[in-house]
């Protein structure tokens, strides 16, 4: 291969070979079962529930009086990653779940020792009431937000209450009507029904206790069947193995293989392959412009993978627009930047115990191989070609809808400062029921200097964005409902659509959007038509309505 490495050094997915199983840190126990979920789109929109407010400490929950029914030994937060192996911890598995006392015992059996699972402890505080503790990001004591775990031995009639006791963020869309996800194995097998929104009486509030991660999420739910196996999750899971299955199907498709090359960008700290897809047709312009996309720097933001899936499905398909895009551009796609974090069920970090999306500026090859190699790849590309767009897919936990963060330092001339706002405006026209232009921000904050979008922009990619996809859903276009997997995939398709509008050789659409951006900003700042923008600070250009963006922002 052109990477200067023999092909077999890296286990690339091939239709002929079994998939390389994920490599886990040796501290992690892993059950042998393969966990796979069917894809399903609910026939009706799933509305937000009535927000319950933040003042709500119920009196019944006291863990001290409860019984521990699941407990994984924690990884000490001060320790560091040392080594990994397939299957995680060697030797026989421990039994973190308390055994049932007989068929009449209605205690739920919890499990999370599978890809992306992260439950550490469950305490039974009432006949059908449980207080749960999430495992923090590995080798850290914080970043609890993502959750994904399994329960067995369900009963159909009672109302259960679950309370996650150690969430890290003071504000959440759960406080504004978002509901958790449930998956019933029996419903999937017998009726083809997959992940769905559940939960009544959903509360997000500050818990007691002095520890910093003291926010709580509580919900009640009825299970659909007796004796079922069910899963709960924060967002539709998309694991490293899901990605590998997808890439193996691509590798086995003789048509796709003509214009899509799957290579290893590098290996993660645990030795999992970070994949790079190069997509372009063999024909077309000599010096094609380049589009760079990435997702899952933050492993808990799984919606980014579903948007990426939709993008790849469309771009690799037979639609005339997809063929045109492959003729016009070279796409460099890193679908999962932080596979280790995805494997172990982290929210934000890699196994270096730090946030990879703050490490682009200083990225050490050893600590953040994915980030380091992505940046080096873009540097190589920029030496020969124009990169017309960089977009990094993320998830947002405090604002609904989809929006973008762009880059405006205030130094550029008038034209360029408005140009950076054109792509998001076009996307909002192509996806009016999902994408909110007023929620977009273009200020480069100090705390964001190490993010992918800011570093790529400083390297010379003028259209450099973080796309934020809400964990909740859309409040736009008469919608007030959660995003489905289909919504997220459509977003990837709309990105393709917008790229064609943005790069249309007939500049009418671009010019129209440019003047619209100009008019919107004038209206907001009360400036005369014709006066330039070079004297206006970025802070003044930022919407006064969209609220201040604190440094705990998700990007």
Set out the domains of the chain in order of their start, with CATH numbers.
Answer: 54-85+92-233 (2.60.40.3120), 240-525 (3.40.630.10)
Contact 464, 456 (CB under 8 A): yes
| HEC sequence for 316-359 | CCCCHHHHHHHHHEEEEEECCCCHHHHHHCCCCCCCCCCCHHHC
Q: Among 1, 46, 172, 228, which residue's Cα sits nearest to residue 552?
A: 172
Cα–Cα–Cα angle for 356, 362, 365, nearest 5°? 70
431 or 408, greater pLDDT: 431
Mean pLDDT confidence for 102-119: 97
Confidence of residue 415 (pLDDT cuts 50, 70, 90): low
- Binned at pLDDT 50, 70 and 90, residue 74 comes out as confident
pLDDT band for 3, please (50, 70, 90 cuts): very low
pTM: 0.93
Q: Report the catalytic residues.
A: 468
Distances (CA, A) of 123 to 101, 198, 207: 17, 21, 16
**281: pLDDT confidence band, cut at 50, 70 and 90?**
very high
Query: pLDDT value at position 4?
Result: 39
Residue of higher predicted confidence among 355 and 372: 372
Q: For residue 431, name the pLDDT band (cuts at 50, 70, 90).
A: very high
Is the pLDDT at 548 greater than 60? The verdict is no
Q: How confident is the model at residue 6 (pLDDT cuts 50, 70, 90)?
A: very low
How many C-beta neighbours within 10 Å does residue 552 have? 11
Res. 209 pLDDT band, cuts 50 70 90:
low
Is pLDDT of 92 > 50? Answer: yes
Query: What pLDDT is stored for residue 552 in this prediction?
Result: 40
Give the CA angle between residues 407, 409, 412 to the nearest 5°: 105
234-265 burial by CB neighbour count: b if 16+ within 10 A, else e? bbbbbbbbbbbebbbebbeeeebeebbbbbbb
Specify the higher pLDDT residue, 65 or 423: 423
Q: How much is the mean pLDDT over the chain?
A: 88
Least confident among 75-89, 170-184, 383-397: 75-89
At residue 59, the pLDDT reads 54
Residue 299 CA to chain centroid, in angstroms? 6
Taking alpha carbons only, the member of 101, 100, 122 closest to residue 110 is: 122
Range with the poorest average pLDDT among 107-116, 267-276, 413-422: 413-422
**What pLDDT does 139 receive?**
92
Distance of alpha carbon 239 from alpha carbon 244, whole angstroms: 9
Q: Which residue spans within 409-521 are E strands per DSSP?
A: 441-443, 464-470, 473-474, 481-482
- Residue 48 predicted with pLDDT over 80: yes
Give dist(CA 140, CA 344) in Å, integer: 13
**What band does 410 get if pLDDT is binned at 50, 70 and 90?**
low
517 is written with which tokens?
């951006």
Encode pLDDT of 475-534 as tens digits.
998 899 999 999 999 999 999 999 999 999 999 999 999 999 989 888 877 766 666 666
pLDDT at residue 5, rounded to an integer: 38
pLDDT of residue 523: 84
Least trusted range by pLDDT, from 189-193, 312-316, 453-457: 453-457
Length of the chain: 555
b (16+ CB within 10 A) / e for 446-469: eebebbbbbbbbeeebbbbbbbbb
Rg (CA), the chain: 24
**36-59: average pLDDT:** 83
Beta-carbon contacts of residue 189 (< 8 Å; ≥ 6 apart): none
pLDDT digits 0-9 by tens, 219-229 = 999 999 999 99
Average pLDDT over residues 347-351: 94
DSSP character for 88?
A: B
Q: Give the pLDDT band (50/70/90) at residue 544.
A: very low
Range with the poorest average pLDDT among 134-148, 293-307, 332-346: 134-148
Q: What is the pLDDT of residue 554?
A: 52
């Amino acid at each position: 291969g052109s990477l200067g490495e023999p092909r077999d050094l890296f286990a690339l997915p091939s239709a002929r070979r079994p998939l390389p199983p994920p490599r886990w840190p040796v501290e992690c126990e892993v059950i042998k079962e393969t966990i796979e979920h069917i894809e399903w789109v609910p026939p009706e929109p799933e509305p937000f529930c009535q927000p319950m407010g933040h003042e709500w400490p119920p009196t019944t929950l006291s863990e001290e009086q409860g019984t521990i029914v699941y407990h994984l030994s924690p990884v000490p937060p001060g320790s560091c990653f040392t080594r990994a192996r397939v299957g995680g911890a060697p030797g026989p598995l421990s039994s973190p779940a308390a055994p049932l006392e007989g068929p009449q015992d209605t205690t739920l059996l919890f499990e999370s020792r599978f890809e992306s699972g992260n439950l550490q402890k469950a305490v039974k505080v009432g006949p059908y009431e449980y207080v749960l503790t999430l495992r923090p990001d590995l080798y850290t004591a914080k970043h609890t937000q993502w959750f994904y775990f399994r329960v067995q031995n369900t009963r159909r009639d009672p109302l259960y209450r679950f309370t996650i006791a150690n969430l890290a963020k003071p504000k959440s869309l759960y406080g504004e009507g978002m509901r958790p996800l449930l998956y019933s194995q029996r419903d999937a097998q017998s009726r083809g029904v997959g992940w769905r929104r559940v939960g009544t009486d959903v509360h997000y509030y500050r818990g007691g206790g002095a520890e910093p991660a003291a926010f709580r999420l509580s919900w009640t739910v009825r299970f659909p069947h007796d004796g079922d196996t069910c899963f709960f999750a924060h967002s539709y899971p998309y694991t490293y193995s899901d990605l590998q299955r997808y890439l193996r199907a691509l590798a086995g498709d003789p048509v796709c293989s003509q214009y899509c090359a799957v290579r290893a960008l590098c290996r993660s700290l645990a030795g999992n392959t970070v994949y790079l897809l190069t997509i372009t047709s063999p024909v077309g312009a000599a010096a094609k412009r380049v589009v760079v996309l990435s997702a899952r720097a933050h492993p808990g933001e799984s919606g980014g993978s579903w948007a990426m899936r939709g993008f790849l499905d469309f771009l690799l398909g037979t639609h005339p627009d997809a063929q045109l895009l492959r003729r016009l551009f070279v796409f460099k796609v890193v679908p999962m930047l932080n596979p280790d974090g995805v494997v172990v069920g982290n929210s934000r970090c890699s196994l270096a115990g730090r946030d990879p999306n703050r490490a682009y500026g200083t990225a050490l090859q050893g600590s953040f191989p994915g980030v380091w190699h992505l940046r080096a790849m873009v540097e190589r590309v920029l030496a020969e070609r124009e990169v017309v767009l960089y977009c990094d897919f993320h998830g947002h936990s405090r604002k609904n809808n989809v929006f973008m963060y762009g880059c405006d330092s205030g130094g550029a001339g008038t034209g360029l400062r408005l140009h950076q706002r054109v792509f998001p405006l076009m996307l909002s026209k192509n996806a009016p029921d999902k994408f909110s232009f007023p929620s977009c921000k273009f200020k480069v904050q100090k705390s964001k200097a190490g993010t992918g979008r800011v570093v790529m922009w400083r390297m010379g990619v003028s259209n450099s964005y973080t796309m934020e996809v809400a964990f909740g859903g859309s409040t736009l276009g008469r919608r007030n409902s959660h995003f489905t997997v289909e919504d997220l995939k459509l977003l990837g398709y709309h990105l393709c659509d917008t790229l064609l509008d943005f790069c249309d050789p007939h500049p009418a659409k671009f010019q129209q959007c440019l003047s619209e951006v100009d008019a919107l900003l004038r209206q907001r700042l009360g400036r005369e038509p014709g006066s330039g923008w070079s004297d206006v600070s970025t802070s003044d250009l930022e919407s006064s309505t969209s609220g201040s963006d604190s440094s705990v922002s998700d990007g």
